Amino acid sequence: MDIPSPPKTTQAFTLDKPQVQNPKSQVEACQQFKCVPKLPPYRPGVHHPPQVCSTPQCPPKYKLQIDTSTHDRHKCPQYVCVPPPDRPVYCELTGRTFNTFDGSEYKYDVCFHILARDNRFDAWTVLVRKKCRVDGCLNELLIRQDDQLILIKPDMTIEYDNYEYTVEQTSMICFQKNSFDLARLGTGVVVKSRKYNFTVAFNTDGDVKVGVSKSLSGSVDGLCGYFDGSPSNDRRLPSGRPATSVDAFGRAWAKPGLSPNACQTKVIDKERQQEAWNLCDVVTKEPLSRCGSALNLDKWRSMCLEKICTCSELVVNGTKRSQEECRCLLLEQFVAECRKEMTQIDLADWRTLYRCPAECPAPLVHYSCYQRVCEPSCSPQPHAGCQTDARQCVPGCYCPEGTLRLKDSCVAVDQCLDCKYGGLRLKVYMKGMTRGCEGNRVLVILDTSLLLLVQRGPVERGRDSACSGLYATTTPDTAPSSRMYRNLIV
């Protein structure tokens, strides 16, 4: 494989920041409690009756724990009240419908806009860019953190620092750089910043979900709204002033100089709109109407209409989806959201009723409500980190329990070692990033040094398209040495 050409410049942008009125976080910190049993004073030579140790109570949502640092077996145990965990707060973009961090809702057609950003130090930004071609328009996601940039395309290929990789390759690079955690989830990918504690989920339909810690209250704004717990001031301009309308709010967060017609929305004729409306009306009827106690049915019917009108115009693998197929995609999201809020609800027959079969290529199996934060895979990150989260419900095709994802296959843990040399299966991770394989040479960037790795033994290309084998490393100031490397990414 030829070494790639030099990177092309991306178009991430920043905007002016508001003047900071109060540099301190507006989040009210959880109170800390320590429970100490009340005991009589100690007097030498005076014997007290046996101590009766009582268990104190903590405020609501706090968890009682024994303070092991001060435990003495001759005294009553001391306790601490642990505050509730800091659950992330989410903003969601589905089609053209926004649900902000603080819970307000509005509709806007994005083109090249900032969804969320750090408004104090400009340390990170999440942007969405709509790319339009003759076969339709799809969203791309850009995540900027310090001097690093990730661009995720609709097919889930990733440009990282302007070079293109798979999700698995990018995950390995970011793991080595200690910058992001990346993992597949359903039809999309989840990116978590290790440094700034924000999370972004993006799927093939172009939907985006941004999660931030409550500790970031007062320091995040964008089309996801000004995050401070109050929906009344969500529509805030980059300068910090309130917007006079949704249109003014949206235009303020666009790339400077962006033409108003850069991403024109295609108008669907009234006949097709009526057909789509009739298809989407099932949301308000049995059995799906049972979700009405937890979900806004009118909102989801409107989202269904938008989904059909945009989805049915896209060309996927050379063909267009039918309106019924597009409705199935939206209903799958609707049912998952309903099951997340109403765990005991029974909607098992909805796929049969509306002819929405769940199909997955072998060996993947379909989960109607996958509740892990990521899918365990053969990545350098520990798969134990993909914990279960009862507040999550992401339908899609996943590997069966007990196996790990390796691209489009599912393998046992001990089969993740997919590199062979001399009959041995190897698993050796390296710090560098490879820019390409050329015959029996691999050019690797290791920190700031360039290494030319010359093949000295037979190479077998692994299933992850890695250049594997025994190489001699050569740098200007070191003598050649023989080492075994795996996953020299190309």
pLDDT of amino acid 310: 86
**Locus of tokens 């395309």:** 153
pLDDT of amino acid 126: 98
Domain ranges across the chain: 27-85, 89-252, 270-353, 365-413, 419-488
pLDDT of amino acid 488: 40
Question: Phi then psi for 426, rounded to 5 degrees?
Answer: -120, 155
Is the confidence at residue 476, as pLDDT, over 90? no
Shortest CA distance to 460 belongs to which of 432, 436, 426, 430?
Answer: 426
Tokens of 383: 């798969």
Lowest pLDDT segment from 48-52, 342-346, 415-419: 415-419
Q: What is the pLDDT of residues 58-79, one digit of tens each?
A: 888 788 888 877 656 667 788 8
Higher pLDDT, 101 or 35: 101
Q: What is the pLDDT of residues 228-252, one digit of tens each?
A: 999 999 999 999 999 999 999 999 9
Shortest CA distance to 374 belongs to which of 135, 192, 147?
Answer: 192
Q: In the structure, what pLDDT confidence band is assigned to residue 130 with cuts at 50, 70 and 90?
A: very high
Asked if residues 303 and 326 have their Cβ atoms less than 8 Å apart, the reply is no
pLDDT of amino acid 168: 83
Q: What predicted TM-score, i.e. pTM, was given to this entire model?
A: 0.74
In three-state form (DSSP H/G/I as H, E/B as E, the rest C), the secondary structure along the chain is CCCCCCCCCCCCCCCCCCCCCCCCCCCCCCCCEEECCCCCCCCCCCCCCCCCCCCCCCCCCCEEEECHHHCCCCCCCCEEEECCCCCCEEEEEECCEEECCCCCEEECCCCEEEEEEECCCCCEEEEEEEEEECCEEEEEEEEEECCEEEEECCCCCEEECCEEECHHHHHHHHHHHCCEEEEEECCEEEEEECCCCEEEEEECCCCEEEEECHHHCCCEECCCCCCCCCHHHCCECCCCCECCCHHHHHHHCECCCCCCCCCCCCCCCHHHHHHHHHHHHHHHCCCHHHHHHCCCHHHHHHHHHHHHHHHCCCEECCEECCHHHHHHHHHHHHHHHHHHHCCCCCCCCHHHHCCCCCCCCCCCEEEEEECECCCCECCCCCHHHCCECCCCCEEEEECCCCCEEECCEEECHHHCCCEEECCEEECCCCCCEEEEEECCEEEEEECCEEEEEEECCCCCCCCCCCEEEEEEEEECCEEEEEEEEEEECC
pLDDT of amino acid 431: 32
Is the confidence at residue 110, as pLDDT, over 50? yes
